[in-house]
Amino acid sequence: MWVGIGVAVVFAVVGVYLLLTSRDAGDDGSGEARPARGSFRQDADPPPRKRAAVVVNPTKFDDLEEVRAVLAKACTAQDWDEPLLLETTAEDVGYGQTRRALEEKVDLVCALGGDGTVRAVGEELVGTGVPFGLLPGGTGNLLARNLEVPVDDLAKAMTVALTGRNRHIDAAWMTLDPEDETVELEDGAGEGSSTGRKRYAFFVMAGLGLDAAIMESTDEELKKRIGWAAYVPSGFRHWLRDRFKVTISCDAGAPETQRARMVVIGNCGRITGGIDLLPDAEPDDGMLDVIVLAPRGVAAWAGVAARVVTRSDKSAPSLSRMKCAGATIEVDERQSVQVDGDIIGEARRLRVEIEPRALTVRVNGTKAADAA
C-alpha cells in the first residue's frame, strides 16, 4: 500500500511540474519562449543631447549667420544640440552673457571674439568647473596659441572644444589699489574695457608702462586690417619713453627697487608674433613670471631683443626676471595698466596673485578627460 501511495505522490509532483513549465511556454503550447517581460513597453526616452553656449563678439564678423552655421554643423557632427549664441555689447563684453549660459546649465561655454572676450568669459568661469572652449575671432588669440588650440579654423576649434581633453590652468588676478583712483576709460575703449572695477582676471599677461602705452595708442581699425603688425607704429612712438622707478615685493621677500620702462606679469609665455617673452612660464605651475625691462638706448634694446629671441631665462642689467605666487608692484608715477591686451586704466600700485588650476580649458586630445 505504501508503495502505491509513494508512486502516486511522485506522479502528482511530476504532473504539477509539467503544468507549471507549460505555462511558461507559449499559450499555444508550442514550447516557444514567451516574450520577455516589458518587451511590449515603449522604449525609454533617449538622454538629452549636450549643449554648448558661445559668447560671441559680433563686431568681429561680417556674416554672423555663416558663423552660426559653422558652429551648428560642428555640434551636430558630434551629436550635440545646436549651440546657444550670446552676443556681447559695448556695455557688457561677456560677463553677463557667461552668467546666463551658466544659468542655462550648458555643458560647455566658448568665447568667440578677441582676447578681451576670452578674458571676460574666462573670469566668470573661474572656479565653476564648466569647460571653456577657445574659438578664433581676434587678432591675438593669445591664450589659444599658448595652449596650442587651432586659431585658423573655426570648425576645428569648435571640434576641439566639444571633444578635447580638459586642462586645468591657473587664473591670475590683478587688484588695483583700492585707495588709488583709476582713470576710467570711455565706453568701448578696448574690447574688454570696463569702468568702475578694481579686480581683473587675466590668463596670459598683464603689464604696466611701455607695453600698456603701446596697446593704448594702437589704432583698432588698423588692427582689424593688418593684425598684430598694427602695434609696430605705436611701438616706435613709445620705445624711448622715460623710465620710471618701480618697487616689487615678491611673495614674502624683501622689496626690490629699480628703474624700468615696463613690467610684465605672465601666466603664459608667448606673446603676439609667436615670441616667447617668458620662456619658463607655464599656465598650470601655480606661479607668475615677472619681467622688468629697463633698456636705456638702442644698444640696450638690441641686447634685450637678443635675449628674447634666444629664449634666455637669465637676468641682465636691462632685463630682470623673477618668479612668485603673488607680488605687489608700486611705481613713482602713474602708469597705464593692461590685462591680456585690454587697457583698464592707470595706477601707481597694484597687486597680482595666482589662483592655481582654477579654469578648465578644452585643449587638443582624444577625449574630454582631465589632463595629467
Structural contact between residues 215 and 193, judged by C-beta atoms closer than 8 angstroms: no
What pLDDT is stored for residue 358 in this prediction? 98
Find the mean pLDDT for residues 120-129.
98
pLDDT exceeds 80 at position 258? yes
Q: DSSP assignment, residue 46?
A: P
- Residue 154 shares a structural domain with residue 184: no
Is the residue at 86 inside a domain? yes
In a domain, 21, yes or no: no
pLDDT category at 37 given cuts 50, 70, 90 is low
pLDDT at 19 over 70: no
Q: Are residues 145 and 220 in the same domain?
A: no
pLDDT digits 0-9 by tens, 152-185 = 999 999 999 999 999 999 999 999 975 554 444 3
Is 149 part of a structural domain of the chain? yes
The whole-angstrom separation of Cα 198 and Cα 181 is 9
Domain, as residue range, for 333: 173-357
Specify the higher pLDDT residue, 179 or 316: 316
**Residue 15 confidence (pLDDT) above 90:** no
What is the predicted pLDDT for the residue at 243? 87
Can you read off the three cell numbers belonging to residue 105?
546649465
Q: What is the pLDDT of residue 296?
A: 79
Say yes or no: 117 and 178 in one domain: no
Q: In angstroms, rounded to a whole number, what is the distance separating the alpha carbons of residues 211 and 131? A: 31
Q: Which of 134, 55, 124, 123 is nearest to 87 (CA)?
A: 55
For the chain, what is the radius of gyration of the CA atoms?
31
Question: How high does pLDDT run on average in the chain?
Answer: 81
Which of the pair, 163 or 27, is modelled with greater confidence? 163
Residue 8 resides in a domain: no
Instruction: Please report which confidence band the pLDDT of residue 2 belongs to, taking 50, 70 and 90 as the band edges.
Output: very low
Listed in sequence order, the residues at least 6 apart from 147 whose beta carbon sits closer than 8 Å to its beta carbon are 134, 167, 169, 268, 283, 361, 363
Contact assessment for residue 368 and residue 362, using Cβ atoms and an 8 Å cutoff:
yes
**Residue 44 located in a structural domain:** no
Q: Report pLDDT for 206.
A: 97
Q: What percent of the chain lies above the pLDDT cut of 70?
A: 70
**Which stretch of DSSP H or E encloses residue 217?**
helix 210-217
Identify the CATH number of the domain in which residue 203 sits. 2.60.200.40
Q: What is the CATH number of the domain that holds 90?
A: 3.40.50.10330
Q: How far is residue 223's CA from residue 210's CA, in Å, rounded to a whole number?
A: 18
Question: Number of structural domains, the chain?
Answer: 2
Residue 72 has pLDDT above 70, yes or no: yes
- Does the pLDDT of residue 232 top 60, yes or no? yes
